[in-house]
């Protein structure tokens, strides 16, 4: 029998197939965080053969290293591989789904929920043909040594910043950050406020540097910001020397004279981000962005000199737009208990935590733990991850209550379990 599997059915079917067999060959190009757990691979194996495409930069080397540690597993890499075949002696699954937290090449929120197409079959002739193909791929693949893993880590860590942001393309920077504040591309974007002019000494250093290095012609400088401004950072700059903050421009950090603490920057009309293109802050958002600095987690470098990450500033904007309503979030947390109880699972300790700490306090305590809670695991077993605290805090009406780090941790936990985020 041959059947079609969509993205929701594929993981369930693959896990069932692999759990019921002690032999498998997985010729799957791209592996992402949580694949081992999602597929149920942490078990005794008579033989587990895996071929991935570690050379592509789209295969998570940390997950591959975990695969290599499984007992009786042999993991190889083939730089040409793009196929996806899951094979046991009795069953096969093949199609578009990679073995990742979201079944796709690039991990991240933007591509969770994409449509997948696969087939599952127990046809002996088709299994024989795929077995021959897998044997060829395995024999032509090469082993993975520590050096190759190290190189793959470099490629992987670079690639993560090139993932798209969920929700489609736009040049509106605040909108992009609002959608996914934990995106790696935003780590290098900072909002700066200053009122102090640079010193005569800094001006002298600037003149000497420009004469010595032609690439610094056309630059301007900041003084006294230390390592808070790093080469490659984009700065959204406000002059706050007057009563009303004035946006000056976008600046790209190109050089830092550490000895004299002088930072050289190039002026730009917009911010150019990989895969996201040229983005900028909408004119109407500029005063709100400057105002939000007073409520953001900032680093102070002087009486009025402040610098903060764009994600934290946008979050402060959201907080101002949506006043804190603790009782409403408390009700949402208690609703988790009520809905779980209706399924036969009563998380009484969770309810007590909410009563004791309040909804936000309880959520932050759970998100701050190094591993998922017992309740998270139980809800995963019940196929109701939508009832987890992690899913709740990521809803648009509650995101502004939590830090970008807390949101990132919640999203990662759900992605690891292949949770399909609502569109």
Q: At 413, phi and psi to the nearest 5?
A: -60, -40
Write the DSSP symbol of residue 282.
Answer: -
The whole-angstrom separation of Cα 224 and Cα 229 is 10
131 found inside a domain:
yes
Determine the Cα–Cα distance for residues 250 and 347; give it in Å rounded to an integer: 49
Nearest 5°: the CA angle 73, 75, 77 is 170
Contacts of 342 (CB under 8 A, 6+ apart): none
Average pLDDT over residues 216-240: 96
Percent with pLDDT over 90 in the chain: 57
Are both 180 and 297 inside the same structural domain? yes
Range of the structural domain that residue 298 is part of: 173-321
CA distance 83 to 95: 8
Output the average pLDDT for the chain. Answer: 88
Does 270 reside within a domain? Answer: yes
My answer on whether 185 and 61 are in the same domain is no
Q: Does residue 102 register a pLDDT over 50?
A: no
- Residue 218, C-beta contacts closer than 8 angstroms, at least 6 positions apart: 266, 267
Scanning the structure block, which residue is given the tokens 């992987």?
A: 156
Residue 162 — pLDDT band, cuts 50, 70, 90?
low
Q: What is the pLDDT of residues 80-92, one digit of tens each?
A: 999 899 999 999 9
Residue finishing a domain among 281, 302, 321: 321
User: Is 406 a domain residue?
Assistant: yes
Separation between Cα atoms, residue 287 and residue 161, nearest integer Å: 28
DSSP summary character for residue 396: T
Residue 129 maps to a domain: yes
Assess if residue 254 is contained within a domain. yes
Lowest mean pLDDT among 43-47, 98-102, 267-271, 383-387: 98-102
On whether both 19 and 59 belong to a single domain, the answer is yes
Give the integer Cα–Cα distance in Å for 287 and 9: 48
Q: What pLDDT was estimated at residue 8? A: 73
What CATH number corresponds to the domain at position 47? 3.30.870.10
pLDDT of residue 316: 84
Are residues 219 and 310 located together in one domain of the fold? yes
Integer Cα distance of 381 and 400 in angstroms: 29
User: Are residues 32 and 156 located together in one domain of the fold?
Assistant: yes
Point out the domain boundary residue: 162, 189, 205: 162
Does the residue 17 lie in any domain?
yes
pLDDT tens-digit series, residues 255-272: 999 999 999 999 999 999
**318-340 burial: b if 16+ Cβ within 10 Å, else e:** beeeeeeeeeebbebbeebbeeb
pLDDT at 321: 66
User: In this structure, is residue 423 part of a structural domain?
Assistant: no
259 and 400 both lie in a single domain: no
316 shares a domain with 362: no
Judge if 304 and 340 occupy the same domain. Answer: no
Kindly report, residue by residue over 228-237, the tens digit of the pLDDT. Answer: 999 999 999 9
Stretch 243-252: mean pLDDT, rounded?
96
Considering the domain architecture, whether residues 219 and 279 belong to the same structural domain is answered as yes
Q: Do 188 and 299 sit in the same domain of this protein?
A: yes
Q: Is residue 167 part of a domain?
A: no
251 in the same domain as 114: no
Contact 21, 90 (CB under 8 A): yes
> Quick one: angle between helices 359-368 and 326-342, nearest 10?
70
Q: Which of 270, 286, 321 is the last residue of a domain?
A: 321
In angstroms, the CA 97 to CA 314 distance is: 35
Residue 251 and residue 265 in contact, taking contact as beta carbons nearer than 8 Å = yes
* Token output for 406: 């807390």
Domain tally, the chain: 3
- 300 and 333 belong to one structural domain: no
Q: Which helix (H) or strand (E) holds 176?
A: helix 173-179
């Amino acid at each position: 029998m041959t059947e079609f599997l969509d993205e929701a059915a594929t993981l369930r079917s693959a896990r069932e197939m692999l759990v019921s067999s002690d032999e498998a060959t997985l010729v799957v190009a791209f592996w992402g965080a949580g694949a081992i757990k999602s597929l149920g691979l942490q078990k005794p194996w008579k033989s587990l053969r895996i071929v991935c495409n570690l050379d592509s930069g789209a295969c998570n080397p940390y997950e591959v290293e975990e695969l290599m540690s499984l007992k009786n597993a042999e993991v190889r890499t083939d730089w040409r591989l793009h196929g996806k075949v899951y094979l046991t002696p009795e069953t096969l699954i093949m199609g578009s789904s990679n073995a990742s937290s979201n079944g796709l090449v690039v991990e991240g929120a933007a591509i969770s929920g994409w449509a997948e197409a696969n087939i599952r079959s127990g046809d002996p002739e088709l299994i024989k043909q795929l077995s021959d193909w897998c044997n060829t791929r395995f024999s032509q693949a090469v082993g993975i040594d520590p050096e190759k893993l190290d190189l793959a880590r470099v490629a992987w860590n670079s690639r993560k910043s090139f993932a798209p942001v969920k929700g489609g393309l736009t040049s509106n920077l605040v909108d992009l950050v609002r959608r996914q504040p934990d995106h790696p591309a935003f780590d290098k974007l900072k909002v700066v406020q200053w009122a102090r002019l640079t010193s005569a000494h800094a001006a002298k250093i600037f003149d000497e540097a420009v004469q010595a290095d032609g690439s610094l012609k056309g630059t301007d400088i900041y003084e006294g910001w230390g390592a808070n401004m790093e080469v490659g950072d984009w700065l959204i700059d406000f002059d706050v020397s007057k009563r009303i903050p004035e946006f000056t421009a976008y600046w790209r950090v190109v050089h830092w004279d550490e000895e004299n603490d002088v930072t050289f920057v190039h002026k730009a009309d917009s911010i150019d981000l990989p895969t996201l293109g040229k983005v900028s802050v909408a004119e109407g958002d500029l005063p709100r962005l400057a105002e939000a600095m007073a409520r953001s987690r900032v680093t102070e470098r002087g009486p009025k000199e402040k610098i903060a990450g764009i994600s934290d500033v946008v979050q402060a904007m959201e907080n101002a737009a949506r006043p804190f309503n603790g009782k409403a979030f408390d009700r949402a947390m208690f609703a988790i208990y009520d809905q779980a109880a209706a399924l036969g699972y009563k998380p009484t300790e969770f309810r007590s935590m909410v009563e004791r700490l309040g909804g936000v306090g309880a959520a932050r305590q759970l998100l701050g733990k190094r591993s998922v809670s017992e309740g998270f695991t139980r809800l995963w077993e019940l196929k109701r991850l939508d009832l987890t605290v992690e899913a709740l805090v990521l809803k648009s009406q509650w995101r502004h209550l939590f830090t970008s780090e807390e949101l990132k941790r919640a999203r990662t936990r759900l992605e690891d379990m292949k949770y399909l985020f609502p569109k």
